[in-house]
Amino acid sequence: MSGKVNSNFEFSVLNFEYNFTKTLSAEKVEELYIDSRWTNYTNDLPKLMRGIANSLDVISVWDGEKLVGLIRTIGDGETIIYIQDILVLKAYKRQGIGRHLMKQILDKYEDVRQIILLTDSAIEQKAFYESMGMKDCSLSDLKTFMKV
């Protein structure tokens, strides 16, 4: 599937259901984040769920009743978006789910000047994001600052 998504609710691709609701089961979200070893988020699950509810976009991917992937963005949707989370269950990786999630966001915000994300330094991560057209900030004059 290419181009912008016309549906506001859900569609199917790659035999998975893609859903655009911000209302998700905390239990299913927790399973996905734990599988990705993002336990700093699951240590305060109510806070994570509020963050998801307050996100600009949330696209979840379902295999039947199983939450297998999720991407969420924050920002103003006009000048900047930040890809806060992109997760795919380990057992479902290498099936195009992450690529399709990224494509949905990049297509939707093709006119936004700044699309940003932070990730770890794993080679696979770098290769994936570069294949999606993202650039490593260290290769430019830009500097990144953060408070953790």
pLDDT digit string, tens, across residues 19-49: 999 999 999 999 999 999 988 999 999 999 9
Q: Which CATH class is domain 10-139?
A: alpha beta
Instruction: Quickly state the pLDDT bin for 9 (edges 50, 70, 90).
Output: very low
Q: Which helix (H) or strand (E) holds 72?
A: strand 66-75
Query: Is the pLDDT at 132 greater than 90, yes or no?
Result: no
Query: Is the pLDDT at 101 greater than 70, yes or no?
Result: yes
pLDDT digit string, tens, across residues 69-90: 999 999 999 999 999 999 999 9
Torsion of CA 94, 100, 105, 108, to 10 degrees: 160
Pairing verdict, β 80-88 and 114-116: parallel
Which structure tokens are listed for 47?
A: 């806070």
Instruction: Quickly state the pLDDT bin for 58 (edges 50, 70, 90).
Output: very high
What pLDDT, on the 0 to 100 scale, is given for residue 148?
Answer: 78
* C-alpha dist (Å) from residue 23 to 26, 53, 64, 73, 112: 9, 7, 17, 15, 26
What pLDDT, on the 0 to 100 scale, is given for residue 14?
Answer: 66
What pLDDT, on the 0 to 100 scale, is given for residue 12?
Answer: 54
What pLDDT, on the 0 to 100 scale, is given for residue 6?
Answer: 36
Q: Domain residue spans in the chain?
A: 10-139
